[in-house]
């Protein structure tokens, strides 16, 4: 099993664990990272999920700075337990929850999510917002997470798969067929899946990349002996964006536990 630092860096599209202490600086201008609270809210409301529970109790895994869950807590009067392996992100999430006036409904924890899923339960909704295969493939992930849910609870997963016609192989992404097969083998039903066109997020990706690039330039001045790290990180970000825009089908899927 990868250690926590390696897992965190990989989930943020990095390859070198030496980047870990610099990631908060690189991503300081970003709040929502990889997923959209608006998209999540729209999907939950469209499927009447808030109405199915007296009070929404959310588990946000890889919560980052709370960019997804804090707006949901505010708008739905929900509660959230957010877990992330980056301590600086957790501090930012706690500060943001106070800024939004929802700190009493938010718990943000600096933990390894692979450990946290063994220690927390009875959630109505679990959010996995673009964190990759930290818990394994889709089948493994759903098997682990169903123990954290109440009966008829939901998982909202934001990720991507490889369309079958592309015939690509990847250690990080399933093929389209294998993705759907693994869901069929799980204890979950698909309630809704929204496939995102590349055009819908290219501009956002470019804006995020330019912010990261600016901070990487500053780090090269502060740490000239580490400039190769920042160059390689930007190259990794570029390659990931190209993969998302040209080769992968990005999606948001709402899954419901069968019992």
Render pLDDT for 52-98 as a digit per residue (tens, 0 to 9): 999 999 999 999 999 999 999 999 999 999 999 999 999 999 999 99
Does residue 109 belong to any structural domain of this protein?
yes
Residue in 96, 39, 106 with CA at minimum distance from that of residue 67: 96
pLDDT, one tens digit per residue, over 29-38 is 999 877 788 8
Does residue 22 belong to any structural domain of this protein?
no
Q: Which residue has the tokens 């991503």?
A: 27
- Statement: the pTM of the whole predicted model exceeds 0.75: yes
Does residue 60 belong to any structural domain of this protein?
yes
Beta bridge partners of 59: 81, 126
Q: What's the rounded mean pLDDT across residues 127-132?
A: 87
Domain count, the chain: 1
Residue 162: CATH number of its domain: 3.40.50.150
Does residue 58 belong to any structural domain of this protein?
yes
Helix axes 87-99, 69-76, angle to 10 degrees: 30
Angle at 28 between CA 61 and CA 22, to 5 degrees: 85
Residues 129 and 71 sit within 8 Å (Cβ to Cβ): no
Does residue 120 belong to any structural domain of this protein?
yes
Domain hosting 183: range is 4-11+33-196+248-257
Does residue 172 belong to any structural domain of this protein?
yes
Does residue 27 belong to any structural domain of this protein?
no
- Assess whether pLDDT exceeds 90 at residue 244: no
Residue in 117, 110, 78 with CA at minimum distance from that of residue 93: 110
């Amino acid at each position: 099993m990868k250690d926590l630092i390696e897992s965190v860096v990989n989930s943020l599209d990095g390859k070198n664990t030496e980047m870990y202490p610099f990631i908060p600086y690189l991503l300081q201008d970003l709040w929502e990272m990889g997923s959209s609270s608006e998209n999540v809210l729209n999907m939950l409301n469209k499927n009447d999920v808030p109405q199915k529970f007296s009070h929404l109790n959310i588990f946000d895994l890889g919560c980052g700075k709370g960019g997804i869950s804090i707006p949901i807590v505010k708008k739905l009067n929900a509660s959230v337990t957010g877990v992330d392996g980056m301590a600086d992100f957790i501090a930012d999430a706690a500060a943001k929850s106070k800024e939004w006036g929802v700190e009493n409904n938010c718990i943000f924890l600096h933990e390894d999510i692979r450990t946290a899923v063994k220690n927390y339960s009875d959630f109505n909704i679990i959010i996995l917002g673009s964190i990759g295969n930290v818990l394994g493939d889709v089948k493994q992930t759903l098997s682990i997470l169903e123990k954290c849910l109440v009966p008829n609870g939901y998982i909202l997963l934001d990720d991507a798969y490889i369309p079958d016609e592309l015939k690509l192989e990847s250690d990080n992404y399933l093929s389209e067929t294998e993705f759907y097969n693994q869901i069929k083998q799980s204890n979950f039903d698909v309630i809704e899946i929204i496939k995102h066109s590349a055009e819908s997020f290219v501009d956002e990706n470019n804006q995020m990349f330019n912010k990261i690039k600016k901070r990487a330039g500053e780090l090269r001045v502060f740490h000239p002996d580490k400039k190769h790290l920042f160059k390689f990180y930007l190259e990794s970000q570029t390659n990931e964006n190209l993969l998302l825009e040209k080769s992968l089908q990005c999606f948001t899927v709402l899954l419901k536990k069968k019992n």
